[in-house]
Structures are given as structure tokens and as C-alpha cells.
Structure 1
Amino acid sequence: MTLLKMAILMALVLPALPAQASDPDWLTVNPDNTLVIDTDKGRLIIELHPEVAPKAVERIKLLARRGTYDGLLFHRVIPGFVAQTGDPGNVDGGKTELPNLKPEFRFRLKADVPHTVVARPGGLDVGFMGALPYVSVDEKRMGANPDQAVHAWGSYCNNTMGMGRDDTPLDSANAEIFFMLAPTQRLDRDYTPVGQVIIGGDVLQKLAPGEPPAKPDSMLNLQIMADMKTPPQVLVMNTKSAAFKALTDRVRAEKGADFSICDVTVPARVMP
């Protein structure tokens, strides 16, 4: 889909900016699990998902609150792939004194965990948990399992945030984080997904490229929204709403057999 077509599509299916956060088509983000990153190129707002990766999200929140990430560079930016940052020392493999984390590549999805199924390719479900795209085993199998759950995993679409690690071993994640600049689902079940950039996708695309960049951009300041004195009020579209169904229906109709969960972006807005 071209950028022009997407702009026309969004204009057709999105309602006007709601006057208040109580609009049923929109939900207010949870400030306890929303990360705000101010960079040289602008602000990123990320919806974190502890239900997917509790230990990794806990680590990111801890490092943000103690200032470890402030001033670190985007030391590896590959257009059409990924932007990496968060390594103490600004080099691949930089770590804190904290112990490495075990992989959280998959999680168990239960029926009572909020999620929205968008498509059901053979034997799988694909959809969204908030704004984060995910894939799961067909949830019809939940009842056959002792814990009433199925295996699921976050999917690395555009703007998905993950926890970096060394090539080996798998339990080597520590502080590094990365952001997808394009869909790269080959990373699914190989890196721990922690959240989704809901505001600032355009900022990511403006980061100076290079391995390392000649003049790298930096993360100036990271805050958990709940800790901010004057936090922005951010709304994300309710994936259970008629507006979101209209969006996904239109995208599926245009893409046809080539439809992927990465073709859909859950809209978000900052209230004035």
C-alpha cells in the first residue's frame, strides 16, 4: 500500500479526533505501562506489554527510572530494518551490572487477556493486544489445555520494540532495546518483544543511519508516563470498536491473499 493510499484510507475510516477520552472508539493508555522517550529527532511513546514479557518490561522500566538510558545513542540504524540503542558504552553487547534475562520469546495466552483476533490463517490466530501485533495457536484449543491457554508471541511489525541480546546464548538480554523500521517477522520467537511505538513512528524513520552513524542521534530522556509531572494524554484506538473493524476490513480487502497482520497499524493520538 502506498503512503498516499494509506492516507486516503485513514481519512475514510478514522472518526474525528474525540473531544474526550470517553469516546468508545478510543482508549486511554495505561500510564504505568507507557514509556516516553525524547530523542534528538522528536518524541516516541511506547505501549509496553508486561503480559507478553514481564521480566523484560520490568528491566526497561527500572533502567528508565534510574536514568541508565538517558543520553545513550542509536548506535546501529539500518533503514528498512532496525534501530538499536540502550547499550551502556554505545556499542553492541554493552551491559549493566544487572543479571542477564531469560528469553521471553513466547507467552501463554488466555481468553481473559484482552486481545482482538483479526484473521485466522490455518491453525493460527493473528491480531492485536492493544497496539502490539501478535500470533497465537488457534485459541479454540484453549479448552483442551490444562491451563486453558495457548502459545502466543509478539510479531515484529513496523514500530515493534524488542529486547536485544547477543547472538549466543539466548539468555543474554540485559539492557539493549531495538525498534523495527519495517516488518521483519523472521525475528518472531527469536527475540523478546516488549511493546509497540504508538506515537513517533515518523521519528524513528528520521534517525541518522549507519553502523555506527557518522552523527548518531540519542535518547535524551526516558520516562514512565505515570512518573511525569505533566504527562501527555494519549489515546489508542479500541481494537474492539467498529472504527477499527472498518479499518481492518478495508486493508484486508485491498491486500487480498497477501494480507498480513503487519499491514494494519492501530491508530493513536495525543489529545491537545
Structure 2
Amino acid sequence: MNRRSVIALAIGLSLLSAPAFAKKKDKAPVTPPAPVIATFVDPNPAVDPGNVLVLDLSNGGRVLIRMMPQWAPNHVERIKTLTQQGFYNGVIFHRVIDGFMAQTGDPTGTGQSGSSLPDLKAEFNYMPHVRGTVSMARTNEPDTANSQFFIVFYPRFALDHRYTNFGRVIAGMDVVDRIERGEPPANPTKVVQASLLSEGKPVPVIAPPAPAAVPEISPDMLSKSKSN
């Protein structure tokens, strides 16, 4: 057998063996990596009522916010402390941007103030800012969150890892949607009462807005009207 025949035979054998090798390789199951899914929490507020913030608003609705110490323990503790002190009662939503968020927690209503407690060190976490997310407001410096927080109307992933996400609305998002818009709003929505679900406080009685004053009509005004 000459050299050319040997080479041809070697090539033929390699071609015959290649499909068998490929077939054997195809039989081995290939398991793709499981996707990483960030799950939220059981939406049932009865699971941990001590970590559910209740906001009764002046628009006549009640909002339940599930706070997550696993995400931001110091921020959750701050909200609970201020709530039990009555700090948020009567505070307005001073910055409400349609399609973005509603912000509250400043007793002066200007967005420039907070509580007398020291600012908090940031606790940025992996949870995304989706509709209903409740996150802490701050200045341009990361460790300046104090008492102000905001509720997100629509997903804003640009806020992820830059603002401390500490909870999510689990009931009453329609009430959040009715918060008056503006910076500040002309007729701002107010937190009438903030409490923890574990306290069992009833919905406060909210007086309806006073009707617009009707000007008194004098005889002179009637006579002028007739003359016109």
C-alpha cells in the first residue's frame, strides 16, 4: 500500500468515527444554569404585622406597606421609631411627580428637613425599584437618609443600588395613585395617621372638605343686575 492510500484510509476512518463520537456526545444531557429569581415576600400582612406600616391619607384611603428588615434593618427600625412617636401624623406629600413617585416625611413640607435623629448609613440592596416600592430619600450624599421616603408609581431601575429600598406597598396602591401631584401640590395629600398594623389603630374619621363659601347677595347687587 502506497503512502497516498494510507492517507486516504486514515481520512476515511476519521470520517466514519466522527458521527459516532458526535452521537455519543449528544446523548449526554446538558442542564442550563437555573435563572436567579428575586422573590418578594408573602403579601399577607398578618405574617408580621409589626413590620407593616399603615398610612391613613387625607384622600380617604389606607395604604399598607410591608417593611423588610432583611433588606435594610436600620432604615426599617427608623421608620418604626418615628411612626410610634407620631412623627408622620399630619405630614404632607410635598413632592409628587406623575409617572415617578410620591415623597413625604418632612414635617416642614419643604423637602429640606427631617427628624432630630442622626442620618442613616446607606443600606443599598439588590431589590429593584418597581411599582409600589418604598425607598428612602436622601441628598446627593449616600449616607444622608433620615425620615423622608417615597413610593414609586412606575418601575425606576436607575434608582437601584443608589437609594435604600426598604419595603413595598401590599395594599392600597390605588390610594397612592390618588395622591395630589405637584412640587409642592397646591392642595397636598396628607398623612392623617401613620401606625404599625400590630397597633390595631382604626381608620381615623376624616372630615370632608369645607364647601366653598357662597357670596351673600345684597339687594343692591340684585338691582344692579336688573339694570344691566
Tell me which interval the TM-score lies in, with the shorter structure as reference length. Answer: 0.5 to 0.7
CA deviation string 1:136-184 (max 9, x = no partner)? xxxxxxxxxxxxxxxxx111000100011012x2110000010001111
Under a length normalisation based on structure 1, what TM-score does the superposition of the two structures give? 0.57
**Partner in structure 1 of residue 71 of structure 2:** 52
Distance 2:159 2:95 in 1: 17
**Partner in structure 1 of residue 200 of structure 2:** 228
Alpha-carbon offset, residue 29 of structure 1: 3.1
Amino acid in structure 1 at the alignment position of 2:194: L
**Identity fraction in percent:** 40
**Partner in structure 2 of residue 104 of structure 1:** 123
**Partner in structure 2 of residue 33 of structure 1:** 51
**Partner in structure 1 of residue 129 of structure 2:** 156
Alpha-carbon offset, residue 27 of structure 1: 7.6
Among 179, 183, 192, the alignment partner of 2:164 is 192
Amino acid in structure 2 at the alignment position of 1:36: V
Distance 2:201 2:49 in 1: 12
Alpha-carbon offset, residue 87 of structure 1: 1.1
Distance 1:27 1:75 in 2: 27
| 2:92 and 2:105 in contact (8 A); partners too | yes
Distance 1:30 1:159 in 2: 19
Amino acid in structure 2 at the alignment position of 1:220: V
Distance 2:44 2:135 in 1: 25
Under a length normalisation based on structure 2, what TM-score does the superposition of the two structures give? 0.67
* The structure with more helix, counted as a fraction of residues: 2
Higher RCO (CA-CA < 8 Å; seq separation 6+): 1
Alpha-carbon offset, residue 92 of structure 1: 1.4
CA deviation string 1:83-142 (max 9, x = no partner)? 000012111131111100000002xxxxxxxxxxxxxxxxxxxxxxxxxxxxxxxxxxxx
In the TM superposition, 1:1-272 aligns within 5 A as: 28-41=46-59, 42-106=61-125, 153-167=126-140, 169-228=141-200
Which segments of 5 or more consecutive residues in structure 2 lack a partner in the other structure? 1-41, 204-228
CA deviation string 1:37-94 (max 9, x = no partner)? 1001211001000000000000000000000100000001101001000012111131
Amino acid in structure 1 at the alignment position of 2:154: A
* The structure with more strand, counted as a fraction of residues: 1
Max Rg structure: 2
**Partner in structure 2 of residue 123 of structure 1:** none
Distance 1:164 1:25 in 2: 24
| 1:95 and 1:174 in contact (8 A); partners too | yes
Amino acid in structure 2 at the alignment position of 1:77: V
Distance 1:49 1:187 in 2: 18
SS at match of 1:154: coil
Amino acid in structure 2 at the alignment position of 1:162: S
Amino acid in structure 2 at the alignment position of 1:199: A
Measured at CA, do residues 54 and 26 of structure 1 come closer, stay the same or move farther in structure 2, by a change above 3 Å? Answer: closer
Measured at CA, do residues 57 and 27 of structure 1 come closer, stay the same or move farther in structure 2, by a change above 3 Å? Answer: closer
